[in-house]
Amino acid sequence: MNEKLFSILDSYYDDMVALRRHLHQNPELSFEEKETPALIEAFYKELGIEVKTGVGGNGVTAVIKGGKPGKTVALRADFDALPIQDEKDVPYKSTIPNKMHACGHDGHTSTLLHLAKALHTIKDELHGTFVMIHQHAEEYAPGGAIEMIEAGCLEGVDAVFGTHLWATEETGKIQYRTGPFMAAADRFEINIQGAGGHGAQPHKTKDALLAGSQLVTSLQQVVARRVNPVESAVVTVASFIAENAFNVIADSAKLIGTARTFAPEVRDLVEKEIGRVTEGTCLSADCTYEYNYFRGYPAVVNHAKETDYLVKQAAQIPGVTIEESEMQMGGEDFAYYLEHRPGTFFFTGAKPEGVDNPYPHHHPKFDINEKAMLIAAKTLGSAAINYHEEA
C-alpha cells in the first residue's frame, strides 16, 4: 500500500508546489487567519471530504474514513505566518508587506492537504480513520493547539504525528528523537524603576540602566550556578530598553528575555531564580522592580513506541536517511497534542538545492526545498496507513 500511496503523491507534486507558493504569497499572522482556513475548507469540500471549520478559533479539521476497521490517527500541520518582510527575490515572494511564511508552515499545509487527497483516493483500501488537523497560531503563545484540543480535535484519536520542514538540514533526512525533543519556551519581563537625573550628577540618582546591566550579567548565574549541569536550560535577555540621551541617567529600564528548559522542575527553578536574582540586584542598586514570567509551550516529549514506529516507516521510503537529533531549544505547541495522546514529532530536512549555508527559520530570506514536502507526505502517510498493525 505504501508504494501505491507514494505513486499518487508523486503525481501531485506540481500541485503541491503551486499551492505552497500561493500560500507563501498570501501569508496571514497568528490569530488573524481568515483566507487560509477558507482555502483549506474549500479544498476538502471539493473532494467531498468531511470538514469542520472554526475549531478552537481559526482551526480546521477533516476526517477521512477508511473502508476497513482500524485505529484513528491524527496528522497535524500549522498554517500561520510571521511579521517579517520577505526579502527573497523569487516569483512567489510574499505580496503582503511585513508578513511572511518564514518558517515553512505554507509547506506544512500543502503537504497535509495533498496527503489527505491521496488518502481519500484510496480510502476504501485503508484501515481506520484519519484526522487532518490544520492548526492556526503556532507562532504566538498561547498558540492554537491547546484551543483546538479543548474544542475536541483529538476525540477518539489513538495516535498523533507531526513534522516540521527543517531548512538547515539536508533534504531527504528525517530527524527524530525519543523523549524530550524541543524545549519549553517561556518569556520574562523585568521593569526596573530608579530615579533618573543629570549625567554629571550620578550621586543624585538611582541608575536603572546600571542596575539592568548588572542584572543581565547576574542572570547568567541562574544556569551556570543554579541548574544541575546534567540538565539543559537557557536564559537569554534579548531586549534592553532604557533612556537614550547621552547626558541623562536612566530613570527606568526594561529587560525582556526567554527561558528554555525541558524538565518541569528545572522550569520551576529557573522562574524562581530569575526572580530571586532580580530582587537582589535591584536591592543593591536601591531600585524597585516588577517581574513577570509568562509560561509558553511545554516541552515536546515524544513517546517511545510511536517514535520507534515512525523510524521504521521512514526507513522504507526511497531516498530517505534517518538521524537521531540532539535536543532542540526551539519551542513547538505540538507539545500539547503529545500531552493528550501518544505520538511523535520529527524534522524533515528541507535544505534548498545548491545552498551551502541556508538562511535559518524566521529569517527574511528563508526558503525551503519544495521536494521535502513529498518526503514529509510519504513519511506521515506511511505512518498513518500502517498504524492499524500496531498492537
Binding-site residue numbers are: 103, 105, 139, 164, 362
Which residue ranges are tagged as binding site for Mn(2+)?
A: 103, 105, 139, 164, 362
Q: Which residues pair with 236 in a beta bridge?
A: 258
For residues 136 and 59, is the Cβ–Cβ distance under 8 A?
yes
CA–CA distance, 15 with 370 (Å, rounded to integer): 11
For residue 181, which of 79, 375, 320, 334 has the smallest C-alpha distance?
Answer: 334
For residue 388, which of 72, 123, 74 has the smallest C-alpha distance?
Answer: 72
Encode 309-320: b = buried (16+ Cβ within 10 Å), e = exposed. bbbebbeebeeb
363 CB neighbour count, 10 Å cutoff? 16
Supply 175's cell numbers. Answer: 530527524
Identify the helix (H) or strand (E) that includes residue 316.
Answer: none
CA atoms within 13 A on the CB side of 48: 4
> At a CB cut-off of 8 Å and minimum separation 6, what does 328 contact?
181, 182, 183
Active-site residue set: 80, 138
